[in-house]
Structure 1
Amino acid sequence: MFSLAGFLCTVCAVTLGRSCFHIVSPGKWGGHPANCSTPLKSVQTGYVVILHTAGSPCKTQAECTQQLVNIQHYHMNGKGWCNIAYNFLIGEDGNVYEGRGWNTEGAHTYGYNDISLGIAFIGDFTGRSPDAAAWRALKQLLHFAVREGYLSSDYLLVAHGDVSNTISPGQPIRSVLKTWPNYKH
């Protein structure tokens, strides 16, 4: 059966010459309700922090869904946080997965949680870069965020390790980010 989402994705791909962008909500990936909802200081944030989850990567929606359930369980039950730490996560299946979402403070980067979107690539990227599908999803997410007013058009993109004492998101990701126009290190 041909779904409306499939039809719209086809129209998007034909019209724009690229694959469709969509965000998988927590209800679709099996997320538990959050125990918090502290808003960001500004609805239109000026920072994006790029991280990695430092765990197993995922190449299919089923694998990514399992990774998100595992991450949320660890963050909420192991760390005692109110939800998954990141605003959004990106899998190598090319999907963007909603964590805390657009206007909710994250728990990803001390000093930046309330003024930034925290976007994490799912996996450990200290030895390699995410695949093309994941990078494409990040570009589409950022474009969407600016277009819809969630992110300032002159936002600054930073790697987690640029603002915290960590190797996250890994040197391969930082090398790619250095070529992006909004990157600030």
Structure 2
Amino acid sequence: MTIMDWMMAVLRFAAVASVCPRIVPRDEWGARLPKLVTEMQNPVTTVVIHHTASPAYCATTADCIAAMQSMQVYHQDGNGWDDIGYSFAVGGDGRVYKGRGWNRIGAHAPPYNADSIGITLIGDWSNEAPPKVMLDAVEWLIRCGVDTGRIAPNYQLVGHRQVRHTECPGNGLFAVIQTWDHWVQDPAPPARRPGLEHHHHAEAAAVAPLLVVPETPEPQTPAAAAGLYDPSTPDAEQAVEVVEVRPLNKRSLWDRLVTIWEKEAMRQAAIARREELAALQQQDAS
């Protein structure tokens, strides 16, 4: 690296640092370990804005830390999720708290979970707008995501109510985000979902007829291939694994490795799907 290259790298870092807010890491707010981690591709195409309603607004860092811990306990123990559902949370102290972060699929707005960042503003914003310090932190965080390649430059901004049947993020907050750049009235469907649509090998195609249609009232009903691996299809998973009791040549070894990789991808997709269904059931019950 030349001196000029080094100087340009420093300038780029300084430019990003000037935009990105400090994000409170998980260990600083006392987060539990996640039960499971499902990686997410960046950049995402959607930013979903939420409010917590409960926990209530937190004005101090101590209260915001308590709110983060309370949310994680409820999401893991009450909802049965792998972790706190949101990507990030913003407190009344103006700080951004890391939930699942930039690179992990959240559980906050199915079916957009695999292609979105979910940002929640701690408090109930049904009847009033959040303080400016919170709104500024959200805008800084989004700008940081774009500048660092985590959020697509042409992202769409939506309120939770636009993609699920809910009052979230509250009328007060929703009125504010409607004035922001990138807010859209009619959200485009998610660009990707966890599932087999991103895998094109023959083994995956063989499983397709046994898959189920997502978002149906009876998700256990067999139907035409929908591209999602459902946990109700263990027979299909077993059918993919063909054990050959003979020496493996280079090509068959490659095919075997591909099969193992695809099985893991399908397992992760099934886990993500279970979280989406759990989130949907929780919202319907509330």
TM-score (norm 2): 0.57
Q: Which residue of 2 aligns with 1:115?
A: 115
Rg (Cα) greater in structure: 2
Q: Which residue of 2 aligns with 1:164?
A: 164
Identify, as 1 or 2, the structure richer in strand.
1
- State the Cα distance separating 1:170 from its structure 2 match: 0.5
The AA in structure 2 aligned to 1:50 is I
Q: Which residue of 2 aligns with 1:25?
A: 25
Q: Give unmatched runs, 5+ long, in structure 1.
A: 1-11
Q: Give unmatched runs, 5+ long, in structure 2.
A: 1-13, 186-286
The AA in structure 2 aligned to 1:83 is D
Q: How many residues align?
A: 168
- State the Cα distance separating 1:76 from its structure 2 match: 0.6
Structure 1 Cα separation of the partners of residues 169 and 88 of structure 2: 14
Question: Quick check: 1:45 aligned with 2:38?
Answer: no
1:129-158 deviations in Å (ceiling 9; x for gaps): 110110010011011111111001111000
1:17-71 deviations in Å (ceiling 9; x for gaps): x9x821001100010011121122x310010000011111111111100000000
Structure 2 Cα separation of the partners of residues 177 and 124 of structure 1: 15
Identify, as 1 or 2, the structure richer in helix.
2
Q: Which residue of 1 aligns with 2:106?
A: 106
What SS does the aligned partner of 2:97 have? strand
Aligned positions of 1:29-178 closer than 5 A: 29-40=29-40, 42-55=41-54, 56-178=56-178
CA RMSD of aligned residues (A): 1.4
The AA in structure 2 aligned to 1:181 is D
Structure 1 Cα separation of the partners of residues 110 and 145 of structure 2: 22
Structure 2 Cα separation of the partners of residues 139 and 110 of structure 1: 23
**Structure 1 segments (4+ residues) deviating >4 Å:** none
The AA in structure 2 aligned to 1:46 is T
1:59-97 deviations in Å (ceiling 9; x for gaps): 111110000000001111111111000000001110000
- State the Cα distance separating 1:124 from its structure 2 match: 1.1
TM-score (norm 1): 0.87
Q: Which residue of 2 aligns with 1:9?
A: none
Q: Which residue of 2 aligns with 1:6?
A: none
Structure 1 Cα separation of the partners of residues 83 and 39 of structure 2: 14
